[in-house]
Amino acid sequence: MQQEVVLAMLAKEPSHGYELRARLRHALGPLGEALNPGHVYVTLTRLEKAGLVTSERTDGLADGQDRKVYGLTADGQQRVAEWLAEVSWPKPDLAEFHLKLVAAAAAGLADPLSIVDAQRRELLRRLRDAQRAAMAEPDGSDAALLLEGIVLRLQADLRWLEACEQSWTGRRSRS
């Protein structure tokens, strides 16, 4: 996960690490389980070294790192503003898959259709997991909206695989 995400989660108010983790878990629902709990602290340490975050020790019951309250520096605030304005969208590597089919067919190393089948299998498993997780969310949950996005992207990828299948089936019967 990007450092900017942790940074932006601090923009609301200075917070303990465990509060940050709770905010992430709430926004991500079941996907938050994939987060390594130590990751937030590693990221905070890096951000502090980079001068984007400061920390202050507080007295309290919490142990170790959880005793610190983290807040944004002026540079940190500026970085958050820039990050929010950036347009980015993760790109699945379609070119790599496409070239795999082309290379496999050209070299006669593997049947492009079996490669398509294997890829479809993997995407359908993910689709099934995403759907189950989405159906288990209460109406209007933040995490449900994220899961819907995953479902729609997987559907788009699966449709492209169908186009790959048709195209490579056509090439095989012409040759």
Taking Cα atoms as reference points, which of 40, 39, 50, 109 lies closest to residue 76? 50
Site track for other proteins across 49-78, x = CB under 8 A: ------------------------------
For other proteins, the closer of residues 32 and 71 by Cβ is 32
User: Candidates 8-16, 49-57, 95-103, 132-140 — which segment interacts with other proteins by CB under 8 A?
Assistant: 132-140
Provide the phi-psi class of 140: left if phi over 0, else alpha when psi is between -120 and 50, else beta. left
Q: Rounded to whole angstroms, how far apart are CA atoms 164 and 102?
A: 11
For other proteins, the closer of residues 117 and 142 by Cβ is 117
Which two tokens mark 45? 């340490």
Which position among 49, 61, 90, 174 is part of the footprint of other proteins (CB under 8 A)? 90
* Half-sphere exposure at residue 24, Cβ-oriented, CA atoms within 13 angstroms: 26
Q: Rounded to whole angstroms, how far apart are CA atoms 22 and 74?
A: 24
Size of the site for other proteins (CB under 8 A): 42
User: Candidates 7-15, 31-39, 50-58, 97-105 — which segment interacts with other proteins by CB under 8 A?
Assistant: 31-39
Q: What is the DSSP string of 134-149?
A: HHHSPTT-HHHHHHHH
104 lines the binding site for other proteins (CB under 8 A) = no
Shortest Å, Cβ 113 to other proteins: 8
Which two tokens mark 52? 């984007």
Shortest Å, Cβ 121 to other proteins: 4
Which two tokens mark 88? 């980015």
Interacting residue ranges for other proteins, rule: CB under 8 A: 1-2, 28, 30-36, 39, 90, 113-114, 117, 120-121, 124-133, 135, 146-147, 149-151, 153-155, 158-159, 162, 165-166, 169
